[in-house]
Amino acid sequence: MNADISTSPIPVVADRKVPSTPWSELTAFMRTQPMWVSIFFPVLLTIVMGWLDDITGWEVSLFIFYAIPIIQAVWWGGVNAGVIITILSGLVWWYANLDVHPYETLFGYVWAMINREFYFLVVVFAVSIVRKKQDADAEYIRVLEERQQLEKDIVAVSEYEQQRIGRDLHDGLCQQLAAIGCAARALTEDLQGKGLEHANDASAIEDSLRQAVVEARDMARGIFPVHVDRSGLSTALRDLAQTTARLTNIDIQLIDNEEVQLSSPEISMHLYRIAQEAVANAVRHASPHHIWIKIERKGGKLHLTVEDDGRGIDVRLLNKSDGMGLRTMRYRAQSIGASLEIEPRPKGGNRVYCCLRIDTEPSSHG
């Protein structure tokens, strides 16, 4: 018996690095430091702003530029750091313009500084709100990416386990059953040679073992379809239809107008698994007499459809279902950029439709 189950190592998903900029890296570093570190550069910048304010005089106001170190302090050190730089900015502005301000009274000058401090505090709390919003968005994106990565890892590990079970079935159980079948054949021939009536019983055992080997091999190939590669999606779907039809006594047909070839084995495997799950759902829940698997390439898109004439399932409940099979189908479609729809057929039963844009795939006919 030729082995048709290939081996593959357990999937290892590499850690994805989030793209970063020098500013984001500096921000991440500064936020891990003590407050005095996070306000060190804003303090220096505030002093520089005061020096420039002093040499430019009263007529050239640098008031708005004091917001730069304040924003920097809030972004790195939080509200408390921003308040510290705000107070420092007010004092620096006071001394920079103390000798040249146009106010006639000291009270007017103090009131002007209070106004500036108020506007600086508004900047502090506005920037803190923006910072919190950005941090919340970043955390949400991180959680979402981790969830997507977890789903991907689950599917990858599930795929690996299916391959491992398929190899064990083929290389273990199938080979043992085949060996027992050979022994039963030898026993049958020996009993027939001696003219014993038990030869018919031995022959029946041999036939049962041969059928068990066929079913075990079909099961192994269903768990891990080896023909889902660059040139065999249609072949794998045809095997799925034939094997499932033989095991369930349901008429299952593959309708394809060409041998669909895809350059990515991963995409082929995802499409195969979507069709396999759709067929399995129809067999388990719809009690159909016929199932049709249709795959065609048209208009730069690949269309995969699985229909049945069973009693049908309430699509509204189906779309809200948290079943692992349906969630996996949706995830597989999403991971390859395909759309997935589940809807009732006008003549009864359900229809699972998956559409994948393959403009960049090379067209090829079998």
Question: Is the full-model pTM beyond 0.75?
Answer: no
Do residues 333 and 354 make contact, with C-beta atoms less than 8 angstroms apart? yes
- Determine how β-strand 290-298 pairs with β-strand 251-256: parallel
Q: Where are the beta strands (DSSP E) in the chain?
A: 251-256, 290-298, 301-308, 339-344, 350-357
With tokens 């559409």, the residue in question is 355
pLDDT, position 304: 93
What torsion, rounded to 10 degrees, do the Cα atoms 338, 340, 346, 349 define? 130
Q: Residue 316: pLDDT band by 50, 70, 90 thresholds?
A: low
Q: Where are the domains positioned within the chain?
A: 1-224, 225-366
Cα–Cα distance between 66 and 42 in angstroms, integer? Answer: 10
Give tens-digit pLDDT for 107-158.
888 888 898 899 999 999 999 999 999 889 888 888 888 887 777 777 777 7
CATH number of the structural domain 225-366: 3.30.565.10
Confidence bin at 179 (pLDDT 50/70/90): confident
Angle at 348 between CA 344 and CA 353, to 5 degrees: 35
pLDDT of residue 5: 37
Collapsing DSSP to helix, strand or coil, 262 comes out as: coil
pLDDT band, very low/low/confident/very high, at 327 (cuts 50, 70, 90): confident
Token pair recorded at residue 60: 């050239």
What pLDDT is stored for residue 223 in this prediction? 61
Q: How far is CA 87 from the centre of its chain?
A: 48
Which of 83, 84, 106 shows the shortest CA–CA distance to 94? 106
